[in-house]
Amino acid sequence: MLAVLHRIIHFPGPQEMEELGRGFVRLAGHNAFKKAAGAIDGCHIRIRPPGGQQKQCYINRNSATSTETVLHQQKQCYINRKLFPSIILQGICDSTGKFLDIYVGNPGSVHDALVLRRCPMYKESLYPPNGFFLLGDGGYPCLQHPVTIITPYRQPVAGRVEGRFNKHHANARCIIERAFGMLKTRWRAIFLRALEINPLFAPKVVATCCILHNLCHATDDILEEEDLGDEDAEAEDMGGDLEQTGNNIRARLAAQLSATEELPACLQEHDYS
């Protein structure tokens, strides 16, 4: 299964970006999101807690085989903020819930922002293309470089412009939560209880389920998710010196959302030049 991972889970080509953006416009309910290229988030996969010296296994869409590193991992490293042992699946999906990229294997205690900075997509600036952006929750930094990720404004928002942006942003971004929900609902025996397997093998099982998810999606075998959502986390400062903030892009999108698209008829009757 992992040998065909890159054929089933892959980034869209240039000719597909316009249609991808139209999908997020439909989700968000506004044309300001026509350059959205995907939604990104992470979810926790319950595992049997390891002990002593452990190998770590990381799976991404480009790896037919896993990348393994030997680390002295203590059991506590896998305990996440909800106090159960897990590994993290970071996923990027399109507007229909199909996975475009996965990166799985980090211990549960690692913050979403740090998982992002470790993944090949971020380190090699693989996606999205120039001029496009990903939609992330508050667990990610708002970035323009090396990858463009637009996040919601932090609560409490400063005014109606920011509040309106957050509402449309949430409507578009929640597709990744629905994708995780469909994944967990379809394979309840894997995702809704601790995986009773070696932690080194767990990322391979998760990656295989993501492959099967896309295959089901391609044949319109859609299973609506149950309410298995996670709480949004606040972004942490991980010291990314080479990063460039995406606040200016977010502000421009927020202004576009609140701008009047067409002047009222009474104003069109006058010449203001």
pLDDT per position as a tens digit, 214-253: 999 999 887 776 655 555 556 555 555 668 999 999 999 9
pLDDT per position as a tens digit, 163-181: 999 999 999 999 999 999 9
Q: Is the peptide bond before 141 cis (omega within 30 degrees of 0)?
A: no
**Comparing C-alpha atoms, which of 113, 151, 118 is closest to residue 135?**
151
Q: Chain-centre distance of CA 85, in angstroms?
A: 21
Residue with the two structure tokens 């089901």: 216
pTM of the model: 0.88
Cα–Cα dist 28/25, whole Å = 5
Predicted local confidence at residue 102, as pLDDT: 97
pLDDT per position as a tens digit, 114-125: 999 999 999 999
Interior angle at CA 33, CA 246 and CA 8, nearest 5: 95
Predicted local confidence at residue 163, as pLDDT: 95
pLDDT per position as a tens digit, 133-153: 999 999 999 999 999 999 999
Instruction: Report the run of H or E that residue 104 belongs to, with start and end.
Output: strand 99-107
- Cβ density class 24-54: b for 16+ within 10 Å, e for less: bbebbebebbbbbbbbbbbbbbbbebbeeeb
**Comparing C-alpha atoms, which of 87, 91, 95 is closest to residue 61?**
91
Q: Does the structure show a pLDDT above 90 at 40? A: yes
- Cβ density class 179-211: b for 16+ within 10 Å, e for less: bbbbbbbbbeebbeeebeeebeebbbbbbbbbb
Q: Do residues 217 and 97 touch, judged by C-beta distance below 8 A? A: yes
CA distances from 211 to 4, 12, 67, 94, 237 (A): 8, 16, 18, 15, 33
